[in-house]
Amino acid sequence: MSKAVIVGERALILGFKGVGFETASAENGEDLGRELARLAREEDISLVLVTESMATEAPEALREFRERSAAILSTIPTHMGSEHIGFKEMKASIEYSIGVDMLGKE
């Protein structure tokens, strides 16, 4: 059975347990890197969500996870607002794949 995991600040991710997510607490970029490296080794994980506040602290950890794992990794905004990291990554991937900026300017 596939699992979904959310990684981020403990206080921000606890609510996801109620809808079936596993949680992994990370309070800084180093914690995030360590958790994502651990999750990349687990083959039954199909979805990983990371809070945007953590993703901005360790973008290299996200890149390494995507190279090592077949699981989908996406960022989610927090109560502090969104920096649209997920949209920017998707836009860059589309532009790289087809060579055209299909989503327009920000």
Distance CA 17, CA 42 (A): 19
Query: Can you give the pTM of this predicted structure?
Result: 0.78
pLDDT tens, 56-93?
899 899 999 999 999 999 888 876 665 666 656 666 66
Report the CATH architecture of 3-98. Answer: 3-Layer(aba) Sandwich (3.40)
103: pLDDT strictly greater than 90: no
Distance CA 6, CA 36 (A): 10
In degrees, rounded to 5, the angle at the alpha carbon of residue 50 between the alpha carbons of residues 14 and 21 is 45
The predicted structure's pLDDT at residue 64: 95
